[in-house]
Every structure is written in C-alpha cells, then in structure tokens.
Chain A
Amino acid sequence: EIVLTQSPGTLSLSPGERATLSCRASQSVSSSYLAWYQQKPGQAPRLLIYGASSRATGIPDRFSGSGSETDFALTISSLGPEDFAVYYCQQYGSSPFTFGPGTKVDIK
C-alpha cells in the first residue's frame, strides 16, 4: 500500500498570498497517477489536478501541480477567498487508491 503524507497540516495565509502544499509518497507513484482534490465544508471533493500536473476542466490557472515519483506539490499562485478549503492528494495508479490526510488552508 502506498502511504501519502501531506504537509503542513494547516496553512494560514492571507488572500493574495501564494500557497504551496506538499504530498510525499512512501513509494514511487506509477506514471504520476497523482491527483489533488479540494473540499469545502459540507461539500463533496472536487478534482483539481490529475496526472500530477494537468488541470481538470474548469479549474483556474492559479492552481498548478508538479512533481514525480515520491514528491509532489500543489501551488495556488494567489489565494482567492474561495480557495480556503481542505486539499487532499490521492494516488490512483494502484489499489488501494490511497488519500493523504489533507492540508487545511485557512485565513490568517
């Protein structure tokens, strides 16, 4: 089983600031089958990034993903008020399709 670790647990930032979230895998994620999801309170998760760096349909270009093998990152270039949420990474290349514990981005 691939274990995903996310850091930091909480990121306190102001609107307009840059956010960098980390996701580290216990072993190499095959073919970069790594996704990022955003979840707001009371809502279902929403796909942001897949294949480590491809934005999903309708996702603004302030969201970008990078990395390979065991180290991945999600960057939000300039936080909008709607971006304060919890972000999860997930590997979907091999079962079990594990998720990281999440990073909460809250308003400073």
Chain B
Amino acid sequence: EVRLVESGGGLVKPGESLRLSCVGSGFTFTNYNMNWVRQAPGKGLEWVSSISGTGSYIYYADSLEGRFTISRDNAKNSLFLQMNSLRAEDTAVYYCARRASSFSPFDPWGLGTLVTVSS
C-alpha cells in the first residue's frame, strides 16, 4: 500500500522557521516527483512546491517569495520543506503528494500536518 506521512507541523511565532517532513512507503521513492500543497483553514488548495525524483528540477509558487526550500533524501524515502520567515498567512495544513511523472496528477496525498503561525 502506498502511504505518505507528514510530520513537523506545530505552533510557531511570526518570523520563526519550521521544517516539515514527509515519509513515503509502498513505492520506489526515487522514481516519483514529490509535491507540497497547502490549505489555509476553511480555504481552498494552494500548490506550494515540486521536486523531481533526482532533485534536479525544483519549482516554487511565486507567493512564497523565496522563503521556502524543498528537498529530498531518497535513501530515507523522505521529502522536506524548510520554511523560514513564517507569516500568519502561512497558517495551513500542509500536504505532500506524489506524481508519477512531470505530466501526472497528484496521487496519492498524505493526511497533512498543521502549521500555525501566531504570536
């Protein structure tokens, strides 16, 4: 069974940093593009970042203004999102999701981890 499990969320103050993790199982992790998508409370889905299987290709949403960094460790079947200079508007559930290729949909998704930015 394919599983994605996120962790690392929590309550932080504005300006602080947080690192999210996503561990994949049930598939050959290095063969898949991985993504982060977030959802603010009561709002819709917002794509955040994508990374190719080897880590050679990386994309970010413009709204992040260079504050987030995506990375992966294929030896540990792990995806990461380093989030710096956090703002209240970054408060959201952060999901990781898999893509079979650059032209595949997001499937499946993890259960998500909640990040709350508040003073």
Other A-B contacts than A47-B108, A98-B47, 9 sampled, CB-CB below 8 A, are: A35-B106, A44-B108, A50-B105, A56-B105, A88-B44, A92-B105, A96-B47, A96-B61, A101-B44
Report the Cα distance A46→B106, complex, angstroms.
9
5 contacts between A and B (CB under 8 A): A37-B106, A39-B45, A45-B37, A47-B108, A97-B47
Check B110–A88 contact: CB distance below 8 A. no
CB distance from B22 to the nearest CB of A (A): 12
- Which residues from chain B contact A88 at a C-beta distance below 8 Å? 44-45
Report the Cα distance A10→B117, complex, angstroms.
30
- Which residues from chain A contact B53 at a C-beta distance below 8 Å? none
Residue of B nearest to A56 (CB): B107
Q: A44-B95, A44-B111, A45-B95 are in contact. Are A99 and B45 (CB under 8 A)?
A: yes
Chain B stretch 67-94: residues in CB contact (< 8 A) with chain A: none
Q: A44-B95, A95-B50, A98-B47 are in contact. Are A90 and B112 (CB under 8 A)?
A: no
Q: A97-B50, A99-B44, A101-B44 are in contact. Are A31 and B106 (CB under 8 A)?
A: no
- How many A residues touch B, CB cutoff 8 Å? 25
Check B46–A99 contact: CB distance below 8 A. yes
Report the Cα distance A86→B89, complex, angstroms.
22
Please count the residue pairs between chain A and chain B whose beta carbons lie under 8 angstroms apart in the complex: 63
- Which residues from chain A contact B95 at a C-beta distance below 8 Å? 44-45
Tell me which of A46, A92, A93, A95 contacts B109 (CB under 8 A).
Answer: A46
Query: Is B27's beta carbon under 8 Å from chain A?
Result: no
> What sequence of 0s and 1s flags, for each residue 25-60 of chain A, a beta carbon within 8 Å of any chain B beta carbon?
000000101010101000111110010000010000
Query: Is B62's beta carbon under 8 Å from chain A?
Result: yes
- Which residues from chain A contact B119 at a C-beta distance below 8 Å? none
CB distance from A58 to the nearest CB of B (A): 11
Tell me which of A43, A47, A100 contacts B105 (CB under 8 A).
Answer: A47
Chain A stretch 82-108: residues in CB contact (< 8 A) with chain B: 88, 90, 92-93, 95-102
Residue of B nearest to A36 (CB): B105
